């Protein structure tokens, strides 16, 4: 097998050297490293000149990380693709462990893994993200075998960090690669497409050091939550039979995403937009919770505030 590592980079001069060196240090060597510079305005290009003979460099106008990853996939000559963001690092035996898993379970099309979170000074923030989400025990028991009902598990909680993924290039191409119309949740949509038709797994091993800082901290926002509704609708469109077979209601999946968006608007006092989202949620899945929040969003702001005060008093008593 031939592995191509793809790094999307945008103003990544500070950390990209460490990212590349972590790939070069692998105990099982990666065959090529492709850096797609997504319109950087800092000295990312100058840093990469020091890797001129070992890294394939491509610069394009800024289009976002999905477009950059897609370009890297197009440029790759490997039959397997691995991803790494420019501010993160692989652990030294990352590819070795994934190759071993593939040798044991050759039906796998995608192998991901656990990750540690660090800060800008390389200080530990979270030892195991799988443990943080109470999923580590399950994947330890699975021990690299294909995940049963992986699609249902993914839409419940995305356990696949992009920077840990090793995936067949042909499978990525058949799945349509990353959806550039979705900025948040595009990874979940792609992994769900692959898991719908192919065997995937997640190793209970730390394969990556994920850097958490202001530029990549995941905070709920309007754009993010809207994109997650798009991802949910897309997954429903291509995987409804498989979702149903795995015990997931496709309409409930979309309804939950719309409800989450509505609740974000409602909490921020934007009742008009909250109503629209709650109506969409209710149209997909009629539940008492959906109905109650639609009613709440219709109430006058003064009454809603009074109800919140009463709720807080009861919570303290």
- The owner of tokens 């330890």 is 140
Looking at residue 292, what is its pLDDT? 82
Instruction: Give dist(CA 250, CA 243) in Å, integer.
Output: 6
> pLDDT tens, 53-69?
999 999 999 999 999 99
- First CA to last CA distance, the chain: 63
> pLDDT tens, 194-251?
999 999 999 999 999 999 875 444 556 899 999 999 999 999 999 999 999 999 999 9
Over its C-alpha atoms, the chain yields an Rg (Å, rounded) of 21
Looking at residue 295, what is its pLDDT? 85
Looking at residue 312, what is its pLDDT? 64
Looking at residue 242, what is its pLDDT? 97
- Report helix, strand or coil for 8: strand
Answer yes or no: is pLDDT of 151 > 90: yes
Backbone φ and ψ of 230, nearest 5°: -65, -40
């Amino acid at each position: 097998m031939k592995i191509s590592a793809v790094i999307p980079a945008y103003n990544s001069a500070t950390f990209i050297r460490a990212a590349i060196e972590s790939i070069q240090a692998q105990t099982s060597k990666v065959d090529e490293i492709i850096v797609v510079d997504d319109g950087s305005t800092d000295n990312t290009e100058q840093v990469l000149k020091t890797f001129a003979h070992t890294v394939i460099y491509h610069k394009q106008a800024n289009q976002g990380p999905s477009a950059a990853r897609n370009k890297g996939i197009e440029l790759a000559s490997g039959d397997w693709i691995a991803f790494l963001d420019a501010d993160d690092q692989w652990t030294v035996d990352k590819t070795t462990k994934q190759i071993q898993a593939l040798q044991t379970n050759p039906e796998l099309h995608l192998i991901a893994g656990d990750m540690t979170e660090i800060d800008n000074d390389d200080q530990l923030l979270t030892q195991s993200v799988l443990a943080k989400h109470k999923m580590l025990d399950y994947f330890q028991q699975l021990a690299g075998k294909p995940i049963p009902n992986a699609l249902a598990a993914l839409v419940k909680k995305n356990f696949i960090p992009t920077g840990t993924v090793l995936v067949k290039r042909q499978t990525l191409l058949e799945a349509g690669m990353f959806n550039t119309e979705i900025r948040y949740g595009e990874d979940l949509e792609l992994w769900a497409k692959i898991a719908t038709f192919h065997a995937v797994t997640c190793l209970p091993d730390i394969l990556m050091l994920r850097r958490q800082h202001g530029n990549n901290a995941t905070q709920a926002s309007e754009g993010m939550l809207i994109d997650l509704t798009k991802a949910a609708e897309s997954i429903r469109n291509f995987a409804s039979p498989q979702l149903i077979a795995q015990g997931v209601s496709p309409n409930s999946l979309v309804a939950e995403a719309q409800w989450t968006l509505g609740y974000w608007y409602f909490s921020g006092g934007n009742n008009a937009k909250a109503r629209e989202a709650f109506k969409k949620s209710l149209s997909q899945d009629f539940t008492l919770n959906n109905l109650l929040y639609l009613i709440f969003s219709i109430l006058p702001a003064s009454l809603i505030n009074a109800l919140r005060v009463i709720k807080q008093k009861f919570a303290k008593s």
